[in-house]
C-alpha cells in the first residue's frame, strides 16, 4: 500500500514537471518570428534544415539552432532520415496527432491530454501569428471573433454538439470544393479555421455584460 502510494505521488510529480515543460516549449516556439515561420512550414510538409532556410530566406545555421531546440522540447519531430555521403540528413515535421474521440480522450492521462493541447495550441497560434505578420488578418473578408459564454450543464452539452456539427459541415464543404476544382481546374485557397471551446482560466471579477 505504501509502495503504491509512493508510485502515485512520483507519477503526479513527474506529470506535473512534464506538463510545465510542454507549456514552456510552446511559449518558446511561439516567441520568435523565425520559429513561427518554421512551424507553419512543418504544419504542411516535411523539410530539411536546408529546405527550410531556403524557403524562409534565413541562414541554415540560424535555422538549425532553432530546429534543434524545438526538437529537444518536443515541439517538432523527425519525419525521416537518410544517409548522404557519410552525413545523416533529417527531415522535420510538426508532431503528428491522431484524432481522438471523446471516449478515447477520457482514457488518456492528464499529462497526455496536456501535451496534445499544447501541440494543438502551438500549431494553431503559429498559423495565426504568421497571418498577422503577413497582413492577412486585415483582409475585410477575414472573420475574427472571440468571446466567452456562460452555460449550465445542458447549455455546455448543446454548445459542444453545435461545435462538432460546425466542424463536420466545414469538412463536407471542403470535400465539395475539392470535387468541383478537380472538374473545373480552379485552384483552391487554404483557409485556416480555428475553433477553441474550453473552460476559461479564471472567473471574471465582474459579470460579463451582454445584451440578450
Q: For residue 124, what is the domain's CATH number?
A: 1.10.10.10
Q: Are residues 86 and 135 located together in one domain of the fold?
A: yes
Give yes or no: residues 126 and 153 share one domain.
no
Closest listed residue to residue 36, CA positions, set 74, 76, 2, 9: 76
Domain of 46?
2-139
**Domain identity same for 106 and 209:** no
Q: What is the pLDDT of residues 96-137, one digit of tens each?
A: 998 898 899 999 999 999 999 999 999 999 999 999 999 999
pLDDT digits (tens, 9 = 90+) for 169-184: 999 999 999 999 999 9
pLDDT band, very low/low/confident/very high, at 212 (cuts 50, 70, 90): very low
Rounded mean pLDDT of 86-103? 92
In this predicted model, what pLDDT tens digit does every residue of 144-160 receive, in sequence order?
A: 999 999 999 999 999 99
pLDDT digits over 53-62, tens only?
Answer: 999 999 999 9
**Mean pLDDT value across the chain:** 89
Give the span between the Cα atoms of 70 and 119, in whole angstroms: 12
Are residues 18 and 72 both part of a single domain? yes
**Do 18 and 87 belong to one domain?**
yes
- Is 143 strand, coil or helix? coil
Which residue from 80, 81, 121, 73 is spatially nearest to 97, judged by alpha carbons?
A: 121
Contact 42, 94 (CB under 8 A): yes
Cell numbers placing 181: 476544382
**Per-residue pLDDT at 19:** 47
To the nearest 10°, report the CA torsion of 170, 176, 181, 182. 130
Q: Looking at 139, 163, 196, which one is the last position of a domain? A: 139
Clarify whether residues 163 and 129 are in a common domain: no
How far, in Å, CA of 72 to CA of 126, rounded?
18
* Confidence label for 86 from pLDDT (cuts 50, 70 and 90): confident
Task: At 136, list the grid cell.
Answer: 492577412
Spacing of C-alpha 25 from chain mean position: 12
Structural domain ending residue among the three candidates 114, 139, 164:
139
Amino acid at each position: 500500500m505504501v509502495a503504491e502510494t509512493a508510485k502515485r505521488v512520483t507519477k503526479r510529480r513527474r506529470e506535473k514537471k512534464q506538463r510545465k515543460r510542454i507549456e514552456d516549449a510552446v511559449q518558446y516556439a511561439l516567441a520568435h518570428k523565425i520559429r513561427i515561420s518554421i512551424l507553419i512550414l512543418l504544419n504542411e510538409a516535411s523539410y530539411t534544415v536546408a529546405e527550410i532556410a531556403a524557403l524562409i530566406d534565413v541562414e541554415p545555421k540560424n535555422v538549425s539552432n532553432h530546429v534543434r531546440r524545438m526538437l529537444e522540447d518536443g515541439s517538432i519531430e523527425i519525419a525521416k532520415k537518410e544517409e548522404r555521403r557519410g552525413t545523416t540528413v533529417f527531415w522535420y515535421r510538426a508532431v503528428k496527432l491522431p484524432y481522438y474521440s471523446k471516449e478515447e480522450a477520457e482514457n488518456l492521462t492528464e499529462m497526455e491530454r496536456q501535451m496534445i493541447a499544447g501541440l494543438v495550441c502551438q500549431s494553431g497560434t503559429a498559423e495565426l501569428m504568421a497571418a498577422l505578420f503577413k497582413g492577412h488578418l486585415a483582409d475585410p473578408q477575414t472573420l475574427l471573433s472571440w468571446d466567452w459564454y456562460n452555460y449550465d450543464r445542458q447549455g455546455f452539452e448543446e454548445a459542444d454538439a453545435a461545435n462538432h456539427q460546425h466542424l463536420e459541415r466545414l469538412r463536407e464543404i471542403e470535400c465539395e470544393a475539392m470535387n468541383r476544382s478537380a472538374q473545373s481546374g480552379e485552384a483552391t485557397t487554404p483557409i485556416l479555421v480555428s475553433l477553441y471551446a474550453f473552460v476559461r482560466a479564471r472567473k471574471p471579477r465582474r459579470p460579463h455584460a451582454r445584451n440578450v
